[in-house]
A and B are shown apart, each in its own frame.
Chain A
Amino acid sequence: MPRMLLRDIVQARSGDKGNTCDLTIFARTPEMYEHLKQVVTAERVKEHFRPLVHGPVTRYEAPTVLGLKFILEDALGGGAPSSLRSDNLGKSFGSNLLRLEIEVPEELAREPHLMSVPPWRKKE
């Protein structure tokens, strides 16, 4: 099974509420969504963010938009107005999760299940 970065598979956005980070990823097709539900678990996300997130990670499913939402507690250095970090609002957590590498079945490792590739990254 090929391994791929989430960067090539999903949209992602994250933000804050107090010391909690709120992060959602979106699949492009129902087939990929079903696969992500299996492999991008709350445990795996917690493991990915281990040095940054000290509390529990909860996952919610949003099937109508093929979204998986993760709530990462004790994640933002005390919360935006108390944090010493540059990314005090957790806005970069989404892009950070795009670095997660997962295994993808051969039949899903192609269009239309993947994100579009920017021109500067296209291989000729």
Chain B
Amino acid sequence: MKKVRIGAGQGFYGDSVYGALHMAKYGNVQYISFDTLAELTLAILQKDRQKNPSLGYTKDITTTMTHLLPYVQEKGIKLITNAGGMNPEGAREEVFRVAQSLGIKGLKVGVVTGDNVFHLLPEWEKQGFDLKEASSGTPFDTIRDKVLFASAYLGAWPIVEALKGGADVVITGRTTDTAQFLAPLMYELGWDYKDADLIAQGILLGHLMECSAQASGGNFSGDWWNIPDMDNLGYLIAEVREDGHAIITKPDGSGGRVSVDTLKEQYLYEIHDPHNYITPDITADFSHVNFTEVGENQVVVRGVRGKPAPETLKVLIGYENGWMGQGMIGYSWPDALKKAQKADEIVRKQIERYGIEVIEIHTEYLGYNSIHGPLARPVDEENLNEVYLRVAVRTKDRATAERFGRLFPPLSLNGPPFVGSLSGMFSVRQLLGLWTVYVPRSWIESQVKIEVKEV
């Protein structure tokens, strides 16, 4: 029976390249799939593109391709990535540039576009489509002039088309996290959307693999102290047969652990209702999934079921939602927390005194409650060695956020006795609001283009 081995290469923009490199060297895989995008990533990439029209893709594609293209050439491994972000064609230019600098010829790069629907919003409205927010019903007028990007979540089929066109590397924009993993299974094993349970199995495998080491011992809440070689965590491999039978493992010589316990944490991660995991490819019923350990770092996964795909696609609209200014300063024993609290009081009074307009203010004490917030337990203040005050504000504009940050350096001489550390003014950043609408899929899918070019 025909089978294929696919490997995971990346879980987010900023992930290490070494997991993918180890996969290429020792994974014995035919495909490496990358998930680089998150909601915030799209906003970052859109801003990159506004500054420079040739940018807008995840810049780490340069490092990824520099390390991996030699394996594409030598071993015939294919790479599938949504690193195109807001500019898949720009990403292709960069891949071509890297290929040329490595002296690689005959590389075929497929590009999928059509997920960027920003320019279609006015047209949809003209046709009478209401862009109100899907869950709250808030009218679109409230954000109309603040929209930064609008991206539709595409499924696996355009990637399959690119593979049919002979692509060695496929670059997309906002395809779903799972699409990069499902597509090679459909292409290699001849799976069709009519085979609902098989497509659902591809989605489940993709979901397990899309967060890199988070399924192989990273972020593991069990006996994490026993995870081997956490400095070299191996990413997942799925060995999948035509009939959907799948074994999950990881490359030889890598650290980490693939077990029922490490996999199940990722299995239910961020999927909400396990009975209805909705993707553009299929609605998957995860509620009957079973994991069986069949060897060391080898787990068989089965039991997922497919239900019809939705008639609409999710479109995520990002809009400007003010700016964040922040500052941080550390205080030492004795009375570290009292000193930090005093500094917070000073900063808050100065906001009033100097008329700095803040919409929202948030105080945390690192070393005490910055992570658990209001649920943190009281500390033994007498024995608290040190604590850092962090105050963050939301402001209407950038200048006000910067003005807030400038309140912090003076605290080192104009506040409680200070022998700690001043992190001073943090860089300000724009805050992003998210807005979801569901749009008839034909309006979007009719715009999707697949193009394969050779360098």
Residues of chain B contacted by A62 (CB below 8 angstroms): 268, 274, 286-287
Among B24-32, B90-98, B167-175, B219-227, the one that faces the other chain is: B219-227
- Asked if A64 lies at the interface with its beta carbon under 8 angstroms from chain B, I say yes
Are A81 and B269 in touch, CB under 8 angstroms? Answer: no
Task: Given contacts A84-B392, A115-B223, list 19 more A-B pairs with CB under 8 A.
Answer: A11-B221, A13-B221, A16-B270, A22-B270, A52-B374, A62-B268, A64-B288, A65-B260, A67-B264, A69-B274, A79-B434, A80-B39, A81-B40, A81-B431, A81-B432, A82-B432, A84-B394, A85-B362, A116-B222
By the criterion of a CB under 8 Å from any partner CB, how many residues of chain B are at the interface?
A: 54
A26 touches B265 (CB 8 A): yes
Tell me whether A96 is interfacial, beta carbon within 8 Å. Answer: yes
Stretch at the interface among A34-42, A86-94, A102-110: A86-94
Using a CB-CB cutoff of 8 Å, which residues 371-420 of chain B contact chain A? 371-375, 377, 390, 392-394
Q: A26-B264, A64-B288, A81-B43 are in contact. Are A17 and B272 (CB under 8 A)?
A: yes
The 4 closest A-B pairs by CB, nearest first: A81-B432, A51-B374, A84-B362, A84-B392
How far apart sit A96 and B374, CA to CA, in the bound complex (Å)?
11
Q: Are A71 and B272 in contact (CB under 8 A)?
A: yes
Whether the pair B432, A64 counts as a contact (CB closer than 8 A) is no
* B265 A24 Cβ-Cβ under 8 A: yes
Q: Is B360 an interface residue (CB 8 A)?
A: yes
Instruction: Name the A residues within 8 Å of B270 (CB-CB).
Output: 15-17, 22
- Does A12 touch B at the CB level, under 8 Å? yes
Docked-complex contact A24 and B434, CB < 8 angstroms? no
Residues of A within 8 A of B361 (CB): 84
18 contacts between A and B (CB under 8 A): A12-B221, A13-B269, A17-B270, A22-B271, A22-B272, A26-B261, A26-B265, A60-B274, A62-B274, A71-B273, A81-B318, A84-B393, A92-B372, A94-B221, A95-B372, A96-B372, A99-B375, A115-B223
CA gap between A15 and B219 in the complex, in Å: 11
A118 at the interface (CB under 8 A from B): yes
CB atoms of A69 and B268 under 8 A apart: yes
A16 to B289, CA, bound (A): 22
Which residues of the partner chain A approach B366 to less than 8 Å between Cβ atoms?
86
Contact B290 A64 (CB under 8 A): yes
Given A11-B221, A79-B434, A84-B394, residue A60 in contact with residue B273 (CB < 8 A): yes
Q: How many A residues touch the partner, as a band?
A: 35 or more
A92 and B221 contacting across the interface, CB-CB below 8 Å? no
Given A13-B269, A62-B268, A99-B375, A81 contacting B434 (CB threshold 8 A): yes
Please name all residues of chain A whose beta carbon is closer than 8 Å to the beta carbon of B372 when the two chains form the complex: 92, 95-96
Given A51-B373, A65-B291, A81-B39, does the pair A11, B219 have CB atoms closer than 8 Å? no
CB distance from B367 to the nearest CB of A (A): 12
A59–chain B nearest beta-carbon distance, Å: 11
Q: Annotate A56-72 by CB proximity to B: 1 below 8 A, 0 otherwise.
A: 00001010110101010
Q: A13, A48, A77 — which one has the most chain B CB atoms within 10 A of its CB?
A: A13
The interface residues of chain A, by DSSP majority, are classed as mixed
B84 to chain A, nearest CB (A): 20
Q: How far is the CB of B366 from chain A (nearest CB, A)?
A: 7
Contact A85 B40 (CB under 8 A): no
A59 to B274, CA, bound (A): 11
Interface string of B294-335 (1 = CB under 8 A from A): 000000000100000000000000100100101000000000
Residue numbers in A under 8 Å from B225 (CB-CB): 118-119
Residues in chain B near residue A116, CB distance under 8 A: 222-223
Cβ-based interface call for B370 (8 A): yes
CA distance A13 to B260 in the complex (A): 14
B362, B392, B434: the one contacting A18 at CB < 8 Å is B434
Q: Does B433 contact A (CB under 8 A)?
A: yes
* Distance between B378 CB and nearest chain A CB, rounded to angstroms: 13
B281 at the interface (CB under 8 A from A): no
CB-CB under 8 A from A87, the residues of chain B are 370-371, 373
Contact B373 A82 (CB under 8 A): no
Task: Determine whether the beta carbon of A64 is less than 8 Å from that of B375.
Answer: no
Contact A86 B364 (CB under 8 A): yes
Task: Report how far A92 CA is from B370 CA in the complex, Å.
Answer: 10
Which A residues lie within 8 Å of B219 (CB)?
13
Closest CB of chain A to B52's CB: distance in Å?
22
**Contact string against A for B residues 253-292, beta-carbon threshold 8 Å, 1 for contact and 0 otherwise:** 0000000110011111111111100000000001111110
In Å, the complex CA distance between A26 and B437 comes to: 33
Cβ–Cβ < 8 Å partners of B286 in chain A:
62
